[in-house]
Structure 1
Amino acid sequence: MTQPPEDPYLPGRPAGGLDVDRYELELDYRVATNRLDARAVVHARATRTLDRVSLSLQGVRAGHVLVDGRRPERWVHRDGRITIRLGREVLAGTSLAIEVRYGGQPHPARGPWGEVGWEELEDGLIVAGQPDGAPTWFPCHDSPADKAAFTFTVTAEAGYEVLANGRLVSRTPRAGRVRWVYDQPEPMAPYLATLQIGRYQRLVHGTQLLAPPRLLAAAEHDLARQPAMMALFEELFGPYPFAAGYTVVVTDDVLEIPLEAQGLAVFGANHMDGRRGSERLVAHELAHQWFGNSLTVGSWRDIWLHEGFACYAEWLWSERSGGWTADRHARSTRTRLAGLPQDLLVGDPGPAGMFDDRLYKRGALTLHALRLTVGDDVFVELLRTWTARYRHGTVSTELFVACASEVAGRSLALLVEDWVYRAALPELPGSSGTVPRLG
């Protein structure tokens, strides 16, 4: 049968003809040797008539594959993809349970965005899957549009804290090892699935904190205003999206940037200086729980809907907490961007431009231009309508324009087009200093 074309933003990952409902992952991990032995069951439905399916898995080896409890006609694991010949045609809507047993020493995937996925730390590990690192530790239909529920059963040595997405269901010590079970019922894109293992102390003060003992005091200080951030974002964006709450992990290692995952964020030791030097990043990662994790783009071309919103949330927090207003941030940022090359289309940046800082900032400027155009009351109504309508769903720029225009009672398509689909940098509406602090 003819395979669908590849997504240019995820080379090597054609649509596999599957819509995954749930991943069940059983992971047995040895920290000292970075050895993983695992079993995954992928519960999915065929999206079209097909006689074969494929899942992405790289860096470890599949050793056994079953479909609905039986051996398929043939399967092969090559070039980061498990291709399974079913031996029969199945119709669209047919349910399939694909079991894969696999193992090895996982490592990050190297690609256009550097090293992503499974990564050993000095004493533990982190998983940072954005945008294509999920297949480094479990077989998956690696598309941000295919969101599914997850169950994680993880066994590791005693003395380590283990964290995965969702609610901790059980923690069972057994012969020097501990078995942890987490359940993530809200749909989640594969790249947002994560595993964090380290010698952390776990504290719960509304939100949860995992940090090495030596960094605990600095982390508590630097995250002290996070509850106020949460209150502001719930006021502006609507209720926090995930039942298990929010967790911050602080590693004992230096990280280049913080890492987002569904229901949590990971910061390096360098981000917790005891002086709130990274507070804008704390706001940025928290905002991703709404924009990126609950509302997830179906194609990476629309990544500004994640990063532009999270960047604008930094400015909103600054505005609320007594720092610069969002308008001052916006006009300063526009002045700086005007001196940079105007060769990036925010609405289709290409793989090389997905994480360009200009996309983040110009995405935020798009939102500020909308706010200046429709006024604060309509702008907040727009944000809350957007997050409620597509809660735990898949979004696109086209859907955002339609939602914004509906709430505003007039078409905003040309405004968004100027900021998102044209390279030239538009002027912001209004004059500097005329916009009051929101709320």
Structure 2
Amino acid sequence: MRLSRPAALLAFALAACSTSEEPAEERLIAPILTSAEAHDDFTWARPTEARVTHVSLDLALDFEAEQVGGTATLDIDAADDAREIVLDSNGLEVSAVTDGEGEQLIFELGENPDGSEKGEPFTISFAQDNGTVISPEQIVITYKSAPGAEALQWLDPEQTAGKEHPFLFSQGQAILNRSWIPTQDSPGIRQSWDARIAAPAALGVVMSGIRRGDAASGPDGTKIYTFEMEHSVPPYLIAIAAGDIAFAQLGPRTGVWAEPSVLQAAKDELGDTEAMIDAAEELYGDYRWGRYDMIVLPPSFPYGGMENPVMTFLTPTFIAGDRSNTGLVAHELAHSWSGNLVTYASWRDGWLNEGVTSYIESRISEKVFGKLRAEQEYALSYAALAEMVEEMGQGNPVTAMRTPPGTSPFDTASEAIYDKGTVFLRTVESIVGREKFDAWLRSWFDRHAFQPATSEMFLADMRENLLEGDEELEDKLMLDEWVYGTGLPSNALKPDPEAFAAVDAAVDAYADSRDLTLIEAEWPEWSAAEQRRFLERLPEELSANELAALDQALGLSQTGNAEVQFLWLDAALRNRYQPVVPQAEEFLTRVGRNKFVSPLFATLMAQDEWGQAIARALYAKTRSGYHSMTRGNVDEIVGLTE
């Protein structure tokens, strides 16, 4: 059942003040918020006039042309007086648009003369050539993805682990899916979807929806895969991957896909996944997505992970052999509540996804791995935030949790989005008490499930259902200062000084004496977080002899932990340590994760002619293997952009 068009749009207008206890998934259509805080500057859509509610894709994967093509059938709801619907596009090649009955519709792909990341408006008229105005409930678009679509990464066989078959994966967040799916590409315009995908027979296909049945034989040696996402989701969460992949079951509702040569290592690393889901459910209610599967992608994937529903995308750099980097999995799982279940309505409220998720990640880690690990991860997060505020300045708008207006969703400061959000919620928890705070946060997810949200809504709900008019508590929490203000508020909960007491003492002792005797004995017993803490706090200036001694004593060149290896490479390169250059070149050739790639190139470029020559020569070899987002960052770092 669907709401009538006038009724649906009325629901949009009332959504911001709704307090209904009716389960959100029974309201059928996720509402569009109309407050100023819900406005998204990075879409052309006008959803309160006409909006997409469902996307049905029928696409073929063309690896030779590096394009997907076929049809997208959109279910829409429009006001009675609406004369058009505006979608988002970034280079889409559209050949025809019809209504659900096959009647041609007039459409226009607008211009994007300055090459803006926003792309161009895709306007479909409801007016006919004869002057009549129709009110279609479905629109069918025949199209191909943009050449070089930024959301799609096409890999040659040599860029994969198996070296025999090509690979494709998508990365839609933040506003990249408009380069391969014609829809309203805005997080507040939630949509259900289904897909029929034709792929070469040698390849497997997964999507961020539930697979329906086994693959069927298609024409010309293809296989046909079908998927469905029955819940409404923000469109950036529609994702696909195709390649030589195999599956391993982890638990009753969990599993992992990966290239065959990577599968066993991935399975071993992900052995705690079911326990993580159990912990999250105990805290925040049922996992509402059915299955929780993951796919480990080739190394060019630019992020640590992407929380696509029912199919989290993961970087292979999380595989350390000892499950020491599985906080990444806890984070992506936590998005099943914060981000996927309740989603920010505009990119300016990124902390509602990432900050809340980072807080939940720490709570999952505490339940599964113990309090010490959670406290150490919080201490790292707090330190990153404090360092950013010190560097940028307490009054810098970049340090606000609600991102300054006009900021690209690709240019937000992660410390303000992830770390400040974490510290904020830990501070609230410490003041109101964990039991009370847990009950409120769980109820927040229940009240707003499958809906968009804003900072305004979050604080209003907190005041009504957590503070309940307690003015003294309001003063203690400093809510507005946290969300809308800059810097680090004075009531911020400081990390437990004992979390890294032994490591910090070791760092201080090393800085004074450069003696590694005690550290060498303790290093194998330290957690990955403790090793990271030590490397992060090393003296800025180290001699070649000191770096060689560190490497020999601690085995840094041989570590299997990418987080630790990155910190070692960064320390060595900033001190122009020539023996590490081959290792850095191998790492930057193999790894495409932007968290590592961009900072290492920046470190090299800061080393005058020595580092700049290495960086430019290496980037000429590696650039084509990086995702478009990573390329954009490194292009700027090495001076390939104006």
Question: AA paired with 2:242?
Answer: I
Structure 1 counterpart of 2:421, from 360, 363, 366 = 363
Give the structure 1 partner of residue 66 of structure 2: 34
Confirm or deny: 8 A CA contact 2:247 2:263 kept in the other structure. no
- The worse-fitting range, judged by mean Cα deviation, of 162-171 and 348-357 is 348-357
| Aligned pair partner of 2:481 in 410, 418, 421 | 418
Residues 24 and 41, structure 1, Cα contact 8 Å, conserved in 2: yes
Pick aligned residue for 2:155 from 121, 124, 127: 121
Q: Counterpart amino acid of 2:402?
A: G
Q: Could you give the per-residue CA deviations for residues 204-231 of structure 1, whole angstroms, max 9, x where no partner exists? A: 3331211011111211111111111111
Q: SS of 2:436's equivalent?
A: helix
Structure with higher strand content = 1
State the one-letter code of the partner of 1:172: A
The code of the aligned residue for 2:155 comes to: L
Any conservation in 1 of the 2:400–2:416 contact (CA below 8 Å)? no
Give 1:112's aligned residue. Answer: none
**Contact 1:49 1:89 survives alignment (8 Å):** no
Q: Helix, strand or coil for the counterpart of 1:339?
A: helix
Of stretches 29-38 and 371-380 in structure 1, the one that deviates more from structure 2 is 29-38
Q: Report how far residue 381 of structure 1 moved.
A: 0.3
Indicate if the aligned counterparts of 1:18 and 1:141 stay in contact, CA closer than 8 A. no
- 2:125 corresponds to 1:85: yes
- State, as a whole percentage, how many aligned pairs show the same letter: 24
CA gap 1:63/1:315 in 2 versus in 1, 3 angstroms: same
Cα deviation 1:261-309 (Å, max 9, x = unaligned): 1222111222223232421111111111111111111111111010001
Q: How does 1:353-432 map to 2 (within 5 A)?
A: 353-411=411-469, 415-428=478-491
C-alpha contact 1:327 1:368 (8 A) present in aligned 2: no
Residues 1:255 and 2:316 aligned together? no
- Distance verdict in 2 for CA 1:85–1:431, change over 3 Å: closer
- The separation in 1 between residues aligned to 2:490 and 2:379, in whole angstroms, is 9
Which of residues 308, 325, 343 in structure 2 aligns to 1:278? 325
Q: In 2, Cα distance between the equivalents of 1:382 and 1:124?
A: 43
- Between the aligned partners of 1:416 and 1:11, the Cα distance in structure 2 is 27
Going from structure 1 to structure 2, the CA distance change for 1:72 and 1:254 (only over 3 Å counts) comes to closer
Tell me how far 1:164 sits from its aligned partner: 1.5
Q: Which residue identity lines up with residue 36 of structure 1 in the other structure?
A: V
1:100 corresponds in structure 2 to 141
SS in 2 for 1:303: helix
Q: Counterparts of 1:433 and 1:246 in 2: how far apart (Å)?
A: 33
> What is the DSSP-based 3-state SS (H/G/I as helix, E as strand, rest coil) of the residue aligned with 1:427?
coil
**Would you say how many aligned residue pairs link Structure 1 and Structure 2?**
423
Who wins on radius of gyration, i.e. which is larger?
2
| Residue from 325, 334, 338 that aligns with 1:291 | 338
Q: Give deviations 1:107-133, integer Å, cap 9, x for gaps.
A: 343xxxxxxx22213321111111101
Q: Distance in 1 between matches of 2:380 and 2:212?
A: 47
**Structure 1 match to 2:46:** 15
1:345 to 2:408 alignment:
no
Tell me the SS of whatever aligns to 1:314: helix
2:91 corresponding residue in structure 1? 59
Deviations 1:338-386 (A, max 9, x none): 3332322112344245352332100011110110111111111012101
Q: 2:285 — aligned with what?
A: 238
1:44: Cα distance to partner?
A: 0.4
RMSD: 2.8
TM-score for both structures, normalised by structure 2: 0.61
Aligned pair partner of 1:199 in 223, 236, 244: 244
Secondary structure of the structure 1 residue equivalent to 2:421: helix
For residues 191-250 of structure 1, the C-alpha deviation after alignment (integer angstroms, 9 at most, x for no partner) is 11111111100123331211011111211111111111111111111111213x111011
- Residue 118 of structure 1 aligns with an amino acid whose one-letter code is L
Which shows bigger deviation, 51-60 or 69-78? Answer: 69-78
Shift of 1:428: 3.9
Equivalence for 1:227: 274
Amino acid in structure 2 at the alignment position of 1:15: R
**Counterpart for residue 75 of structure 2:** 43
SS class of match (2:320):
coil
Where do 5+ consecutive residues of structure 2 fail to align? 1-33, 112-119, 157-165, 499-642
CA distance in 2, matches of 1:90, 1:297: 34
Q: Is the 8 A contact 2:145 2:179 kept in 1?
A: no
Q: Distance in 1 between matches of 2:338 and 2:211?
A: 24
Q: Specify whether residues 144 and 403 from structure 1 end up closer, same or farther in structure 2 by C-alpha distance, changes over 3 A only.
A: same
Structure 1 unaligned segments of length 5 or more: list them. 110-116
